[in-house]
Structure 1
Amino acid sequence: MSELDTLLSKAVAETKQLEQGEVFYVRDLFKGYKWNRIPRKTRIMLGTLFLNYVKSNSCGIKPDENSTAGQQRYIVG
């Protein structure tokens, strides 16, 4: 399993802890220091993979607006 697959699995697993109506970014699914240790290029690819996962699965998560910094925001429900 590649590093990206592992990170995506961790992110998806962490979404199980979220409650209905919660708004979040992918970075919120990781502890701050762990997120900061992931190389920027990998974080960008992870964000794309997570968006594709959300769009192609019935996981109860919907893409919301992008932030002013261009980061994809999500909402549970």
Structure 2
Amino acid sequence: MFQKPTYEELFEENQMLKAIIKSLSERISELEAILKQNSQTSSKPPSSDGYKKPKPTSSRKKSDKSKGAQKGHKGSGL
């Protein structure tokens, strides 16, 4: 028949499970850090980025000016 585990057995098992959880959490953190790396954040070559390359961004700032000719300018058409 099934015997109830003693307090000491439960305590030992609990400690063992805590140690396993801690080591797995550390490993997950390491793997997430590796996944975040690309050629711009590490010394990896650009060819190792695969298809998840970051989109290029422009350094230009958006202007408040409107496009085209000045207001009131009479355009010449055909």
Normalising by the residue count of structure 2, what TM-score does the alignment of the two structures yield? Answer: 0.25
Between 1 and 2, higher relative CO (CA 8 Å, sep ≥ 6) is seen in 1
More strand, by proportion: 1
More helix, by proportion: 1
